[in-house]
């Protein structure tokens, strides 16, 4: 089993740093180097870096590229400017989610970079190839060729400029990117803080990692990547989104353009779901107690299950026990009293927004 | 290497037991707290709860995960360590000085199924 796990180009660095390594999305990845709380706080207060080389990079190019990407993607890329990035989903015809992803409009016509979740690379590639019939496009999975570092936190820009010498990073707007001869630098992330995601060859990524580490940027594992994205209200595929959950149910309808786009896979199902009314929705829940709601725990009202937790933690930034849960629509109004069953006991909670931490993006 | 304390009994699920008369004082081992990392919550039973040897009686939680606690003996809970409600980190600071519950045993012979420090250390060395 373990022998089949893939290693990123930074694997040796993680082992040398003494990281706790664990399987994730088919890769053997660092969960933490010291502890999740310290790494989480480093990103909130200063700067941290993540090896996210496990993420997938799939290029779509050719005369029909715009038409094709808009066919498979829930957000609207029509007329997208070079250097812009859009978040959205690929959906099945029934409206549930193949994956959530970023689409980068390349600096040449008819060329898009799709950045997808590690655990879904093979599935997404096959899905794209299967849908591409009848379109004049090339679908090229380049995931093995790219490494990626996410440099995140209020001091991320300082390190990008002073340590990596990325002069253009200073003026880069949120969800835009630029490209040099050997890297892609985008103002994106998965932490709720300002920061960059940098894509490059394995060799260049290794050089950057060493420079940032020597400069004092804290190496951060997937443990705090999850606590950070969770507090910021960002979904994780397999939890808040899945092949059983639509973007409308996940509260991500703004990324599925059913009104402005006439066609994309899954659109008809979303329209029908909207017309019929959602039966369940993703909400935040805050507990009074210190007990921690975890993925899979039942949400109850009067002893009857009305939902299920999709992610939960003792929030490191707010020191509150909070979770995101998929709940019957009748119980999704802000302030609704619910209970969460944690092992043998039930704990009272109230419905809140799904974001537990005020994000600090560069606008 | 995580430390152990001589004179205690140890379970395969990483609880320790100190015996005082007919009362078993139960905690988690240093190995367990180290494996869990910084603890943020201890789910304890209530006084007068009945616990069964080998059955779950609570949990310790870190940022990442919840880990069930299994009672090494059967009996009735006579006291819980309320200090852990507000300060679960005490278990990280000294897992042997900070117990979780005290159980009035109804079958002290169950202690014979537990390990001594040396046997427990040998088991941990293989994990």
Q: Nearest to residue A206, comparing CAs of A12, A19, A46?
A: A12
Kindly state whether residue A339 falls inside one of the protein's structural domains: yes
Task: Please give the average per-residue pLDDT across B63-73, as a whole number.
Answer: 93
Contact between residue A114 and residue A102 where contact means Cβ atoms under 8 Å apart: yes
Clarify whether residues A126 and A97 are in a common domain: yes
Query: Domain containing A193: what range?
Result: 2-53+146-231
Measured over the CA atoms of residue A82, residue A83, residue A87 and residue A93, the dihedral's sign is positive
- Which strands sit side by side in the sheet containing A111-116, from one edge to the other? A85-91, A97-105, A111-116, A56-61, A138-141
Clarify whether residues A65 and A44 are in a common domain: no
Residue finishing a domain among A112, A128, A143: A143
B37: pLDDT confidence band, cut at 50, 70 and 90? confident
What are the tens digits of pLDDT across the range A93-150?
A: 999 999 999 999 999 999 999 999 999 999 999 999 999 999 999 999 999 999 999 9
Tell me what pLDDT residue A4 has.
Answer: 86
- Tell me the pairing of strands A48-51 and A218-220: parallel
Q: Are B37 and A343 inside 8 Å of each other by CB? A: no
CATH number for the domain harbouring residue A126:
3.30.70.1400
Q: Is the pLDDT of residue B1 over 60?
A: no
Tell me which residue in B37, B61, B85 faces A292 most closely, judged by beta carbons.
B61
Clarify whether residues A101 and A43 are in a common domain: no
Number of domains, chain A: 3
Clarify whether residues A76 and A200 are in a common domain: no
Q: Is the pLDDT of residue A243 over 80?
A: yes
Within 13 Å of residue B13, how many CA atoms lie on the same side as its CB? 18
Write the ipTM: 0.81
Rounded Cα distance, A230 and A163, in Å: 29
B50 touches chain A (CB under 8 A): no
Average pLDDT of chain A is 96
Nearest CA in chain B to A31: B64
- Tell me the pairing of strands B15-20 and B9-10: antiparallel
Kindly state whether residue A93 falls inside one of the protein's structural domains: yes
Q: Is the pLDDT of residue A228 over 50?
A: yes
Clarify whether residues A60 and A46 are in a common domain: no
Clarify whether residues A159 and A46 are in a common domain: yes
Kindly state whether residue A158 falls inside one of the protein's structural domains: yes
Rounded Cα distance, A193 and A358, in Å: 9
Kindly state whether residue A253 falls inside one of the protein's structural domains: no
CATH number for the domain harbouring residue A40:
3.30.1360.120
Clarify whether residues A61 and A95 are in a common domain: yes
Clarify whether residues A19 and A87 are in a common domain: no
B118 touches chain A (CB under 8 A): no
Task: Please give the average per-residue pLDDT across B68-97, as a whole number.
Answer: 96
Q: If you search the block for the tokens 């490209």, which residue do you land on?
A: A179
Average pLDDT of chain B is 95
Distance between B7 CA and the closest CA of chain A, angstroms:
32
Contacts from B115-124 at CB under 8 Å and sequence distance 24+? B115/B9, B115/B10, B115/B11, B115/B12, B116/B9, B116/B10, B117/B4, B117/B5, B117/B6, B117/B7, B117/B8, B117/B10, B119/B10, B120/B4, B120/B10, B120/B29, B121/B4, B123/B12, B124/B2, B124/B31
List CB contacts (< 8 A) between A318 and chain B. Answer: none
Q: Is the pLDDT of residue B127 over 90?
A: no
Distance between A113 CA and the closest CA of chain B, angstroms:
33
Residue finishing a domain among A231, A266, A294: A231
Task: Please give the average per-residue pLDDT across B97-126, as a whole number.
Answer: 96
Kindly state whether residue A256 falls inside one of the protein's structural domains: no
Tell me what pLDDT residue A3 has.
Answer: 60
Tell me which residue in A31, A223, A294 faces B66 most closely, judged by beta carbons.
A294
What are the tens digits of pLDDT across the range A8-38?
A: 999 999 999 999 999 999 999 999 999 999 9
Most distant pair of Cα atoms in chain A: their distance? 61
Q: Is the pLDDT of residue A2 over 60?
A: no
Residue finishing a domain among A231, A257, A291: A231
Clarify whether residues A132 and A189 are in a common domain: no
What are the tens digits of pLDDT across the range A80-109?
A: 999 999 999 999 999 999 999 999 999 999
B52 touches chain A (CB under 8 A): no
Tell me what pLDDT residue A344 has.
Answer: 85
Tell me what pLDDT residue A362 has.
Answer: 81
B3 touches chain A (CB under 8 A): no
Measured over the CA atoms of residue A268, residue A270, residue A271 and residue A276, the dihedral's sign is positive
């Amino acid at each position: 089993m373990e022998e089949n796990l893939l290693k990123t180009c930074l694997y040796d660095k993680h082992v040398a740093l003494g990281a706790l390594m664990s399987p994730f999305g088919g890769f053997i990845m660092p969960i933490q180097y010291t502890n999740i709380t310290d790494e989480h706080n480093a990103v909130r207060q200063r700067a941290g870096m993540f090896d996210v080389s496990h993420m997938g990079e799939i290029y779509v190019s050719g005369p029909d590229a715009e038409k094709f990407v808009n066919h498979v993607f829930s957000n609207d890329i029509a007329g997208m400017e070079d250097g812009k990035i859009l978040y959205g989903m690929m959906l099945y015809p029934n409206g549930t989610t193949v994956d959530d992803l970023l689409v980068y409009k390349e600096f040449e016509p008819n060329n898009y970079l799709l950045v997808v979740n590690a655990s879904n690379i093979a599935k997404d590639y096959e899905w794209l190839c299967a849908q591409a019939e009848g379109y004049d496009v090339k679908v090229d999975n380049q995931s093995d060729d790219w490494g990626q570092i996410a440099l995140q936190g209020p001091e991320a820009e300082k390190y990008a400029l002073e340590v990596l010498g990325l002069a253009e990073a200073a003026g880069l707007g949120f969800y835009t990117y630029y490209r040099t001869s050997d890297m892609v630098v985008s103002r994106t992330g998965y932490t709720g803080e300002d920061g960059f995601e940098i894509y490059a060859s394995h060799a260049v990524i290794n050089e950057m990692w060493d420079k940032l580490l020597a400069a004092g940027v804290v190496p951060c594992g997937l443990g705090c990547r999850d606590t950070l994205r969770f507090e910021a209200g960002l979904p994780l595929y397999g939890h808040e989104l899945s092949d059983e959950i639509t973007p409308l149910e996940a509260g991500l309808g703004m990324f599925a353009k059913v009104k402005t786009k006439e066609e994309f896979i899954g659109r008809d199902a979303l329209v029908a779901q909207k017309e019929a009314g959602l039966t369940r929705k993703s909400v935040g829940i805050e507990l009074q107690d210190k007990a921690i709601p975890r993925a899979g725990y039942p949400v109850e009202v009067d002893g009857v299950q009305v939902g299920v937790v999709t992610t939960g933690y003792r929030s490191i930034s707010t020191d509150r026990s909070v979770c995101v849960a998929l709940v019957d629509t009748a119980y999704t109004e802000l302030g609704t009293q619910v209970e969460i069953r944690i092992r043998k006991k039930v704990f009272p909670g109230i419905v809140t927004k799904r974001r537990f931490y005020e994000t600090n993006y560069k606008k | 290497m995580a430390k152990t304390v001589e004179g205690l009994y140890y379970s395969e699920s990483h609880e320790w037991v100190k015996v005082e008369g007919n009362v078993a004082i139960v905690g988690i081992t240093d190995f367990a707290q180290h494996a869990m990392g910084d603890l943020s919550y201890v789910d304890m039973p209530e006084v007068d709860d009945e616990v069964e040897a080998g059955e779950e009686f609570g949990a310790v939680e870190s940022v990442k995960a919840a880990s069930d606690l299994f009672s090494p003996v059967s009996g009735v809970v006579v006291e819980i360590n309320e200090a852990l409600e507000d300060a679960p980190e005490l278990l990280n600071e000294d897992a042997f000085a900070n117990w979780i519950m005290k159980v009035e045993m109804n079958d002290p012979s169950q202690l014979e199924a537990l390990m001594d420090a040396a046997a427990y250390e040998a088991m941990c060395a293989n994990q």
